[in-house]
Structure 1
């Protein structure tokens, strides 16, 4: 079902049990009004503190990196762990600015790579849907708003249990886009693509064996990979593309990257493993451009084939 307006805040949202959510929203707004360099410095400090406190997440990030890059030295892995937690902290700043900045301020910090390619897609087939294959980088909130600034579309998301957080999350994500669909609403995704919408879809998390098959990802030969990407790509007239956001290093700002979905042969091919492998190869190429910015703190390889040991 298309969710076109933010859920209304009812009086129950102001009860004491939701005051924690209001504090988080207030802190995000505070971050959004700071000068960019100051907010980035604060975000990195939050990330370094999180690394010290969140021991289990630190372990998960290290194991994911060891599994994906077995040739990397211990020193290199530890450097990536340090950096990925700094980006974890910066994700709070990303959320704050993507949610609360004015459009005028927002576009001043935005750059685009591949805008010409997107324009050509729309010019050649203006009524065809676009399947935006993306990844869970810490910059995903900026990605959603930047892409919507160029080509408003539809976001796939997980509703939050907190009515306070859900209200602000939804309001922010449709600010430059048309509407959202629940990540379990496959019919809604298909309908959006049939209408010619651009649909944001991130198939790079482990969502369990029921909706996945095992395909290679980096050095892991059996990564649970959702089958939905090829299903959505079968919708008539749909063009799959790769898109994500990159945090600029020289000064606070972000780059929206838009690229063709590159593969050998036909996609979807009808071979689920071949299709999942092709998607994972695109994910690999994107991650290699910005390894520490990826969400390594999630248990990417928690689902295992029968008889294979749990890696965490």
Structure 2
């Protein structure tokens, strides 16, 4: 488990100087009032929608696949709103990584902490069942004000970005575990401790089942939550984070533990998990990460891509 960001002299290499300049500029923007941050972010998102053709196509296709009965004008409105929210998410990350604890606490509300407390007091680890919503970075920072936990993450290929994300994510949490280190996740849950877990993206064919996700009948879905809950002797608590409608604060809701989870078989658990993911997304559809190619893996390897 990673408990501290490691800075080395290699990060001073000239090839990273431009990146460090960008980081310095981004860090100063955390001083801008959040209302202004979000206006700038929305504008950046609209610009990205115009210039990022492939990502725009992916998001548009995901929305159409998931909500085929939604009128086209509403799909287009959701697409535009999603890109605006994506631009705002840049500032969510900046705020999560560099705001002081006092400033975070002045811009947050949280409910459902008692479900975490009860689970830990009863000797059961907690799996926060989250989705890839755009303010997720801030969600982890906010939660850490109450109960420092452990994040499951993908190490960044760029060493500067790896240093920054580790340092930022450890501002109010105790550790990070690479997503393939299942043994450490299980040890943490048995401690007992709290980890974040997401199962809403397409991680490929390995260990996936093909089950419904919104209107797509055969979305590749991982079943790791069942194994983690079983081997880690943990409760699974749905975790909801959103930026409030006025763009001035962040809200977290932790729901009660899922009953009878894990169940008798992982397929039923995965179906149940996807339904919970849909419920969380439907709260604020525009704040979900629609830019991910959620349906890139097909049951038949020879089937045409849904994104062509």
The normalised TM-score by structure 2 is: 0.95
Q: Does the alignment pair 1:80 with 2:78?
A: yes
Q: Which residue of 1 aligns with 2:306?
A: 311
Contact 2:239 2:254 in 1 (8 A): yes
Q: Which residue of 2 aligns with 1:228?
A: 224
Q: Does the alignment pair 1:276 with 2:270?
A: yes
Q: Distance in 1 between matches of 2:188 and 2:232?
A: 12
Q: Does the alignment pair 1:198 with 2:194?
A: yes
Q: Distance in 1 between matches of 2:232 and 2:137?
A: 29
Q: Distance in 2 between matches of 1:207 and 1:51?
A: 25
Q: Deviations over 1:51-76 (max 9, x none)?
A: 11101101000110111111101101
Q: Which residue of 1 aligns with 2:246?
A: 250
Contact 2:116 2:126 in 1 (8 A): no
Q: Which residue of 1 aligns with 2:4?
A: 5
2:255 aligned residue (252, 255, 259): 259
* Residue segments in structure 2 that go unaligned for 5+ positions in a row: none
1:294 aligned residue (284, 288, 293): 288
The runs of at least 4 aligned residues of structure 1 exceeding 6 Å deviation read: none
Q: Which residue of 2 aligns with 1:212?
A: 208
Contact 1:194 1:236 in 2 (8 A): yes
**Matched position secondary structure for 2:248:** coil
Contact 2:236 2:258 in 1 (8 A): no
Q: Distance in 1 between matches of 2:137 and 2:21?
A: 20
1:123-134 mapped onto 2 (5 Å cutoff): 123=121, 125=122, 127-134=123-130
Aligned residues: 306
Contact 1:7 1:166 in 2 (8 A): no
Contact 2:126 2:237 in 1 (8 A): yes
Q: Distance in 1 between matches of 2:188 and 2:127?
A: 10
**Matched position secondary structure for 2:145:** helix
* Residue segments in structure 1 that go unaligned for 5+ positions in a row: none
Contact 1:136 1:295 in 2 (8 A): yes
Q: Deviations over 1:232-259 (max 9, x none)?
A: 0103531110113111112411001111
The normalised TM-score by structure 1 is: 0.94
Distance 1:287 1:261, change over 3 A: farther
Q: Distance in 2 between matches of 1:148 and 1:211?
A: 31
Q: Does the alignment pair 1:39 with 2:37?
A: yes
Q: Which residue of 2 aligns with 1:170?
A: 166
Pairwise CA RMSD: 1.4
